[in-house]
Amino acid sequence: MSQMQRIAIVSDSHGNATALAAVIADARQMGADTFLSVGDLTMRGPSPQACIDLLRQVNTQTWVLGNHEQTYADLNTTDKVPLKKPKSIMSVVQSAYDKNDMDAATYRFLATLPLKQTLTLENVTMDVFHAAPDQTHGVHVQATDKQRYFNALLEDSNSDLAIYGHIHQQLLRWTTDGRPIINAGTVGLPNARHILLQDQRAEYAVLTLDNGKLCGLDFRHVAYNIDHELEIARHKNLPYYELYKEALTTGQYAYTQEKVAAQNQKHHYKHLAKQFLKQKTFLF
């Protein structure tokens, strides 16, 4: 006999293990016994290894490549990274920080994750990917984008629904043929531009399935100790700490090109990025 199953969807933890621990605790209280990871577990926050460890301690059924994990793979294959754009410098500096925080096996594991996983739970088949089935960024998947872009997420699939991340905003859309497209928001790095959504709490979602039926979808917001998370970041000398603090304490988007450029200049991050590339820091 089939039994109702509650599934926790977690995405975009971004190295914020304090928020992720709070989400996992809340999900367990909600009766979730299965977890789906939707990418961008790392980068920006101080504890990428701890985030992976937390999800390894629960029944996590999917691990997919986010655009930030893809950066690890990209840096492994080239040492000729153009450093003209402020965020290119930031990607190098933060990737080096993450690699130093993680053990070698975890770093390699994240860099070689698949773009998409398909699984069936309670007779419901779902596609899980970070931004799109075939790429981790550069697609039109914001909440207000046109219907055809959401149709495209399942156009080559017979799955019943799709789950993605990347945009740091909770949403429920449908394809034209009625299949749900679900985004659980961001666990660890709020970046809302509109005041209505500027919430410092961790976001995730609980999906309830029962024998081929979608019985419920609960978008959750979980308070956690932001001061403790920022203390960890300070203690571990997190690069771009000022921007991380701004994002966590305001709920607003902090990583603009202008703000990143100012941090690069203030902390001489471009010079540091050049050193990391010269040392071939990112090889598996």
Domain boundaries, the chain: 5-278
Residues 6+ apart with CB under 8 A from 18: 47, 224, 225, 226, 228, 229, 232
pLDDT at site 81: 85
Query: 117 by DSSP, 3-state: which?
Result: strand
Q: How many CB atoms lie within 10 A of CB 10?
A: 32
* Burial class, 161, CB count within 10 angstroms (exposed 0-12 / middle 13-18 / buried 19+): buried
Query: Residue 69 — φ and ψ, nearest 5°?
Result: -65, -30
Q: What is the mean pLDDT of each run of 10 residues along the chain (284 residues)?
A: 86 98 98 97 98 98 97 89 94 97 97 97 97 94 94 96 96 97 97 84 97 94 98 98 97 95 98 94 90
Q: Tell me the one-letter amino acid at 12.
A: D
Which residue, among 92, 86, 84, 102, has the nearest Cα to 276 in the 3D structure? 92
Q: What is the pTM of this model?
A: 0.96
pLDDT at site 197: 83
Q: Report whether CATH 3.60.21.10 matches the domain 5-278.
A: yes
Sign, CA dihedral 32-222-19-232, equals negative
pLDDT at site 193: 77
Q: What CA–CA distance (Å, rounded) separates 1 from 243?
A: 51
pLDDT at site 2: 57
DSSP string, 162-204: EEE-SS--EEEEE-TTS-EEEEE--SS---BSSGGG---SEEE
Q: Where is 61: in which H helix or E strand?
A: strand 60-62
